[in-house]
Amino acid sequence: MSTVLVVGLGEVGVRAARQLIDTPGIDRVIVAARRLEHAREVAGALTDGAEPCRLGRDDPFPAGVDAIVSAVPGNADPELARRAVAAGISYASCGDRDATLRALLALDADARSHGTRVVVGCGLAPGLSDVLAQHAVGAIDAVDELHVARWGVAGPESASEARRAQREPAREWRDGALVHDKHRHAQLIWFPDPVGARECELVDTGVELLVAAHPGAGRITSRLGVPIVRRFTPPGRRDPGDAWGAVRVEVWGWRGTARASVVYGVIERTAVAAGTVLGVTGAVLAGALPTVAAPVTPGAAGLRAAVDPVALLAELARRGVKAAAFEGVAVA
């Protein structure tokens, strides 16, 4: 009997719970919040089987939990993950703050000793972008550059985290070292409609995960664009792209003796895409999607190391989150 606990019941967490409920092989989905009333409201809205649970800082996890998926704010994530590891429960987080990612990855030794797994960056970017990057790199013989860009936020907390990332010092991987970029000008990135061309700023978010996966690349960057929310804009004049999220992964290198590029991307409502990735990861950790899982190794790592890229992309497409190759001529 597979049981998954969902913690953090915002837009992403609720969608992750929905995906888990709809996954054959997941027998119980428990939705947890600090206030039991909130958990009951979410369970009632899901209508078909989620169990509510109060989970405060000192409350024990429910009995029989096989995996925890977390969409809690970044500052709460590491402590929750530590508790899960100590209890021998696998843990998946969609947190994207660099301090959170580092704190979760620092649990590697503890996770190994307890025979469990911590999977970090299980959202849109980092997360799905890392899987797309792995898939794109496989189409190139020798990789020179890898660039990730994300547009969109999943809700107020996500928007706050994204703006914080834009304010923090930006780094990129250049010629074997992580270097600060003092001239972090925005760059126009092209996504499919209705997002279209958007200005995305250089950020630190997820760069270290990409470097760990592709240390031989000469340059790796991450960019992020955040919609500007205007409170009194009439509905008919709102930018339709502001409600969407998108990720673009561009890989440059050599195929034989020819210069080549591969560009993959996804466009979907940000919370839908991130929640689907998080929910599927939870199902993988609970053993309900064995064909999607990479060979099981205890420890802490990014999403790319936890799944088979092609199998995950196929599973996401089956659930409505479809990746595609961007056709046309890429610009270096």
Angle at the Cα of 227 from the Cα atoms of 223 and 230, rounded to 5 degrees: 155
Residue 316 lies in a domain: no
* CATH number of 278's domain: 3.40.50.720
The whole-angstrom separation of Cα 211 and Cα 221 is 10
Considering the domain architecture, whether residues 93 and 229 belong to the same structural domain is answered as: no
Those residues whose C-beta lies under 8 Å from the C-beta of residue 75, and which sit 6 or more positions away, are 100
Q: For 203-246, what is each residue's pLDDT tens digit?
A: 999 999 999 999 999 999 999 999 876 555 555 555 556 779 99
Same domain, yes or no: 71 and 8:
yes
Query: Do 262 and 251 form a contact (C-beta atoms < 8 A)?
Result: yes
User: For the chain, how many structural domains are there in total?
Assistant: 2
Which residue range(s) make up the domain with 141? 128-272+321-325
Whether 82 and 208 share a structural domain: no
Q: What is the mean pLDDT of the chain?
A: 91
CATH number of 155's domain:
3.30.360.10
Indicate whether 315 belongs to any domain: no
Q: Are strands 219-225 and 171-174 parallel, antiparallel or unpaired?
A: antiparallel
Residue 331 — very low, low, confident or very high, per pLDDT cuts 50/70/90?
very low
Confidence of residue 332 (pLDDT cuts 50, 70, 90): very low
Residue 46 has pLDDT above 80, yes or no: yes
**292 and 194 within one domain:** no
Directed axis angle between helix 36-46 and helix 11-21, to 10°? 50
Residue 332 included in any domain? no
Is the same domain home to 282 and 234?
Answer: no
Is residue 279 domain-shared with residue 264, that is, in the same domain?
no
Band of pLDDT at residue 261, cut at 50, 70 and 90 = very high
Residue 312 forms part of a structural domain: no
Residue 94 included in any domain: yes
What pLDDT is attached to residue 229?
62
Identify whether residues 225 and 284 lie together within a single domain. no
Contact 304, 134 (CB under 8 A): yes
Query: Same domain, yes or no, for 283 and 209?
Result: no
What are the tens digits of pLDDT across the range 65-115?
999 999 998 789 999 999 999 999 999 999 988 889 999 999 999 999 999
Q: Is residue 330 a part of any domain in this protein?
A: no
Pair 98, 280: CB distance under 8 Å: no
What are 269-315's pLDDT values in tens digits?
999 999 999 999 999 999 999 999 998 789 999 999 999 999 999 99
Query: In this structure, what DSSP letter does residue 294 have?
Result: P
* Same structural domain, 260 and 280: no
Is 189 in the same domain as 53?
no
Q: Which helix (H) or strand (E) holds 280?
A: helix 270-285
Residues 243 and 266 in one domain: yes
Does 200 share its domain with 215? Answer: yes
Residue 28 within a domain: yes
Domain-located, residue 31: yes
Bond prior to 194 in cis (omega within 30° of 0): yes
